[in-house]
Structure 1
């Protein structure tokens, strides 16, 4: 249960949060989330997040506006945990954190689903820490959208990869909820992964997109990426270029290569020609076959 006095300090109420949750869980949730409050300072929001960690919706501060954007249902949590486990299996020299608070702009404060840092990452100057803990920014951030829209996930890239942070990789995974099917039913779960890299000449456009669900992406989603300027060769997976279905582990087309030198940026832990191949079948399988 949240503290009503703390909520009121930033213009929120328990009733407003529950209403936002109901809106997000509806048949047609707002594409950019539910606006809860405006003209909120970074300090006020940060203090609130550090004292009220349990809310019925996930919220973030975007340029002074509090937005509710996600409900942490089982598929969302499953995807986050699975990516964490796969990364740790790949390298024990990574430190992962769930729901980490990150200052991503002068008046923007996000709670990332999952972050990774290499061990022994040099500490930053106090005024360049990612939050009040004093830690350096993670090198990799993962966001999973279950309710959150593709548009909302895409609009996080300019924050995570801005000059305000030292984050090198932003990975967004989009799942699509169905209000009619049961887990294990075939052909009803489109999914895709979008990889953004600071080293790209266009860091706010995905360098790789892989469709890996057991149903193809909707035409409007395909058009969204094409209109964004993603090269066709970088947009692969189920429903693209005759790719096979994502129905077994280790299929080459469903390995998302993430450069190790970017994951371990600013540390000497690993050679730069090694990559972390994230097997997206592992993510899919845990969701449709829990």
Structure 2
């Protein structure tokens, strides 16, 4: 049960949180989520996140504003668990994987869906820890959006890869709700993965975008990526350049290759492979067959 006194300290109520959840589950949720409270300090929000039990909606602090942005439904959880499992198997258990609270700016505090931290990552100076735990920032962060818009996911890159953190990789996966073209037909679901890397000359623009659902991306989504300046060669997958459907494992176009030296940055760990080969068919299959 939610602690009403803690909620009230930052201007929230259980009724407000439930209302935000209902709005996000509606037909047209806002592109950038639902504002719940403003002028909230980092300390008060951090205390809230560390003491409150599970909430009916996912929230984050963005420059002093509390935003509700996601509801944890089955597709969202399935994608997070699958990426976690694939990374765990690849790394031979040398990665610690968590859903983790992260300070990402002077007054911004995010609850990442999944983080990867090498087990031998050196501890940081006390004033450079990722949160009150005292741990170093993870090297990789994963966010999955089901309700959350692709615009919102994209706008997290300047926080995760800013000079305030030492995060090297941000992976965003957007899942679109299933839809049908004709009554009685099985539903199809567009999906897209976006990889952002600190080592890129333009770290806030994806270095790789792969459309991997069982339906092509909507034209507005394609335009969104093209308008941000993503080179055509870096935007591949279903509906792009004649790519085949993502309907089997190990298809070359659906392999998202993530450099191991960036995932294991600042650690002496040696891996058997130089890349983390994330087969997006595995993610798709787990979502449509949870």
Give the TM-score band, short-chain normalised. Answer: over 0.9
The residue aligned with 1:25 is 25
CA contact (8 A) 2:91 2:271 kept: no
Which piece of structure 1 moves more, 271-280 or 227-236?
A: 271-280
Q: CA deviation at 1:81?
A: 0.2
1:169–1:182 distance in 2 versus 1, CA, 3 Å:
farther
Instruction: Tell me the distance in 1 between the aligned counterparts of 2:192 and 2:122.
Output: 33
1:97–1:88 distance in 2 versus 1, CA, 3 Å:
closer
1:276–1:270 distance in 2 versus 1, CA, 3 Å:
same
CA contact (8 A) 1:145 1:175 kept: yes
Segments ≥4 residues shifted beyond 6 Å = 179-185
Matches within 5 A, 1:119-138: 119-138=119-138
Q: Which runs of 5+ in 1 are unaligned?
A: none
Q: CA deviation at 1:53?
A: 3.2
Instruction: Tell me the distance in 2 between the aligned counterparts of 1:287 and 1:92.
Output: 24
Instruction: Tell me the distance in 2 between the aligned counterparts of 1:151 and 1:51.
Output: 30
CA contact (8 A) 2:197 2:206 kept: yes
Instruction: Tell me the distance in 2 between the aligned counterparts of 1:79 and 1:213.
Output: 12
Q: CA deviation at 1:271?
A: 6.2
1:188–1:94 distance in 2 versus 1, CA, 3 Å:
same
Q: Which runs of 5+ in 2 are unaligned?
A: none
Which piece of structure 1 moves more, 88-97 or 35-44?
A: 88-97
SS state of the match for residue 56, structure 2? coil
Q: CA deviation at 1:217?
A: 0.1
The count of residues paired between Structure 1 and Structure 2 equals 290
The TM-score, its normalising length taken from structure 1, stands at 0.96
Q: CA deviation at 1:96?
A: 3.3
Q: What CA deviation, in whole Å up to 9, does each residue of 1:42-96 have, x standing for no partner?
A: 0000000000031000000000000000000000000000000000110124333
Q: CA deviation at 1:186?
A: 4.9
The residue aligned with 1:151 is 151
The TM-score, its normalising length taken from structure 2, stands at 0.96
CA contact (8 A) 1:20 1:68 kept: yes
1:263–1:272 distance in 2 versus 1, CA, 3 Å:
farther
Q: CA deviation at 1:119?
A: 1.4
> What is the aligned-residue RMSD (CA, Å)?
2.0
